[in-house]
Amino acid sequence: MAELRVFVPTPLPEPLCELIEELEPRIELVRDQSLLPPQLYAGDHQGARDFRRTLSQQAKYERLIDSAEALYGVPGQSGQELRRTARANPHLRWVHTTPAGGGSQVKAAQLTPDELERITFTTSGGVHAEPLAEFAVFGVLAGAQGVPQLLEDQRNRVWGARRPVPLVANQRVAVVGLGGIGRAVARKLGALGADVVGVHRRDVDADGVSGIVPPERLGALLPDVDAVVLCLPATESTRHMLSRELLEQVKEGITVVNVGRGVTVDEEALIGALRDGRVGFAALDVFEQEPLPADSPLWGLPNVLVSPHNAGTYEEEERKIAELFAENARRLLDGEPLLNVVDTVEFY
């Protein structure tokens, strides 16, 4: 295979298109910036929500999609558009989803077994690990330092009473999910001296952890940890993994950080635990419904930090994804296994 025709149906700045061509010159990278919505920020894969193509532009857009063997991004970041594409283009063999959790887009497409067999799907997993790990460490530190009380005192111009605070170096932290993000979290917390216990379905190499236990033992672990960091994908088996039952067993005042997917936490139960003090502080980058509804109690709770699913957005994100795509294109052309292939059973 001497060449691979790739179309870019999602916003990607021209310099990064040129970088991909430079890194893997055997691909034909087709794009038309006039057909793509303008980005609202660097790393925006959706583009301006009010962007509309004319009928002729839409026809050209779909014609280019349907002429490609591979796609850089899911059209419109939409499962419905991905389904149309898979059925209209029998030559499509690879789709790279720009989010790390792109498996959810593939699941939403509701493709047939034959379509899932014909098309390989990859994600940008690992690209966002470092910034998400920094947010997670920030959340653990904020909980230990009592940042909500400090902010309340500052707003009220109160010189608060001096009080001892726990050292993270003396804390025990459970990191749930040891994929790329979880391993980065464990490494950073371990470097601070924390006793990090990993929760994962199987043994993996993870720097900074003192041990790994299966998810079934999370309930036994929670009464003995000062913080829990969730780094899980959204699957049937991870839905509400931090459940009401488990939240009733936690060590009082525990810090909860979620940098995985919002559905992995029973949000209603978490709100109750935050209100009664079982959870002392929560730093949340993801939620069961996004954007977080204006009437969610999480907005008004003083011991919650709400981040608008932004912790993984950073200056180098787009370039890293482009480089990952180029590497996978090389692997495809050379007949090597691709990185970050979506599991089309659990869709992560």
> What does the pLDDT read at residue 76?
94
Residue with tokens 């899980």: 232
Residue 314 to residue 164: CA distance in whole angstroms: 34
Band the pLDDT of 100: cuts 50, 70, 90.
confident
Phi, psi of 136, deg, nearest 5: -65, -45
Q: CB count, 10 Å around CB of 220?
A: 10
Residue 215 to residue 146: CA distance in whole angstroms: 29
User: pLDDT tens across 128-144, in order?
Assistant: 999 999 999 999 999 99
User: pLDDT tens across 265-306, in order?
Assistant: 999 999 999 999 999 999 999 999 999 999 999 999 999 999
Q: Are 143 and 283 in contact (CB under 8 A)?
A: yes
> What does the pLDDT read at residue 254?
98
Catalytic residues: 261, 290, 309
Residue 302 to residue 108: CA distance in whole angstroms: 35
How large is the average pLDDT for residues 50-65?
97
> What does the pLDDT read at residue 101?
86
Contacts of residue 280, defined as CB under 8 A and 6 or more positions apart, other chains included, come to: 143, 252, 253, 254, 255, 303
User: pLDDT tens across 151-173, in order?
Assistant: 999 999 999 989 999 999 999 99
User: pLDDT tens across 235-258, in order?
Assistant: 999 999 999 999 999 999 999 999
Which three-class secondary structure state does DSSP give residue 230? strand
Radius of gyration from C-alpha coordinates of the chain = 22
Question: 163 is written with which tokens?
Answer: 């009080």
Predicted model pTM: 0.93
- Asked if residue 347 has pLDDT above 70, the reply is yes
Which three-class secondary structure state does DSSP give residue 210? strand
- Asked if residue 38 has pLDDT above 90, the reply is yes
Side-chain-facing half-sphere of 124: CA atoms under 13 Å: 25
39-43, 63-67, 184-188, 273-277 — which is least confidently predicted?
A: 39-43
Which three-class secondary structure state does DSSP give residue 146? coil
